[in-house]
């Protein structure tokens, strides 16, 4: 939750990332530059920024957070999803094809709940931005919204429990998951709030958070 350094407006992250690259241009010690944008916002106001960034030779990572809905304003379908309209069933916008048509040469689609795969994709994307013939790298982080996508359809039917907590605070202070709270100094998972994403399972440094087999998410 605390990873974002700056935020301006819908679609502004792409142009901001390009501006940061230009500010660092020629500096070999520039930090990794990562922009994030939702799928509906990308289709609404991000395409032109991406097209311009590629055209101008910017180098940064763009992560499109594709949750298959417009969650910010009530769960309306995006342009990339078929939906009923006044004229019948609408057509789907092809996210990958749109990104490619902007001139992007590095494009991967990853399930963000597969943490090792997501980390690996980010590392490859960063390497591409620094390669001699590199440019903008795009990762489509695709996973249905747990609120509007249906928990039972999109999430793994398991529960996670905290055992032998070492009180490091990573899960409560760094991950900032709303389903994890402190009980005294130890962590506790609030079962009714847990979506079963498994992020804590990957990021607990002591292995104290474990998966309970044969248990269904509520």
pLDDT of residue 145: 81
**210 pLDDT more than 60:** yes
Select the more confidently predicted residue: 180 or 158: 180
pLDDT band at 137 (very low <50, low <70, confident <90, very high): very high
- pTM, entire model: 0.84
pLDDT of residue 8: 85
Select the more confidently predicted residue: 147 or 56: 56
Contacts of 101 (CB under 8 A, 6+ apart): none
State the span(s) of the chain assigned CATH 3.30.70.20.
155-212
Tokens at 77, concatenated: 């379908």
State the span(s) of the chain assigned CATH 3.40.50.970.
12-142
What is the overall mean pLDDT for the chain?
86
Tell me how many helices (H) and strands (E) the chain has. 7, 10
* pLDDT one-digit tens code per residue, 70-121: 877 777 777 777 666 656 666 678 999 999 999 999 999 999 989 899 999 9
Q: Helix H segments across 60-113?
A: 95-101
CA 136/CA 21 separation, integer angstroms: 10
pLDDT of residue 214: 59
CA 195/CA 147 separation, integer angstroms: 9
pLDDT of residue 202: 87
Across 112-146, b (16+ Cβ under 10 Å) vs e yields bbebeebeebbeebbebbeeeebbbbbbbbbbbbb
Q: The CATH number of 155-212 is which of 3.40.50.720, 3.30.70.20, 3.10.105.10, 3.40.50.300?
A: 3.30.70.20
* pLDDT one-digit tens code per residue, 37-76: 999 899 989 999 999 999 999 999 999 999 888 877 777 7
Q: Can you tell me the mean pLDDT for 6-35?
A: 91
pLDDT band at 158 (very low <50, low <70, confident <90, very high): low
Structural fold of domain 12-142: Rossmann fold (3.40.50)
Contacts of 3 (CB under 8 A, 6+ apart): none
């Amino acid at each position: 939750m605390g990873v974002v350094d700056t935020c301006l407006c819908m679609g502004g992250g792409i142009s901001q990332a390009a501006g940061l690259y230009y500010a660092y241009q020629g500096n070999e010690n520039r930090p990794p530059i990562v922009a994030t944008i939702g799928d509906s916002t990308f289709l609404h106001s991000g395409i032109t920024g991406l097209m311009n960034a590629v055209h101008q030779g910017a180098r940064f990572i763009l992560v499109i957070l594709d949750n298959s809905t417009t969650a910010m304003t009530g769960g309306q379908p995006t342009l990339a999803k078929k939906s009923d309209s006044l004229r019948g069933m609408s057509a789907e916008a092809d996210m990958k094809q749109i990104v490619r048509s902007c001139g992007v040469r590095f494009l991967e689609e990853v399930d963000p709940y597969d943490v090792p795969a997501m980390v690996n994709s980010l590392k490859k994307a960063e390497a591409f931005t620094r390669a001699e013939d590199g440019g903008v790298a795009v990762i489509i982080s695709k996973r249905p919204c747990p609120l509007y996508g249906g928990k039972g359809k999109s999430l793994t039917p398991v529960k996670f429990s905290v055992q032998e907590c070492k009180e490091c605070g990573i899960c409560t202070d760094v991950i900032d998951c709303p389903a994890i709270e402190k009980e005294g100094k130890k962590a506790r998972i609030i079962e009714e709030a847990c979506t079963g994403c498994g992020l804590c399972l990957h990021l607990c440094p002591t292995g104290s958070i474990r998966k309970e087999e044969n248990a269904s998410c509520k």
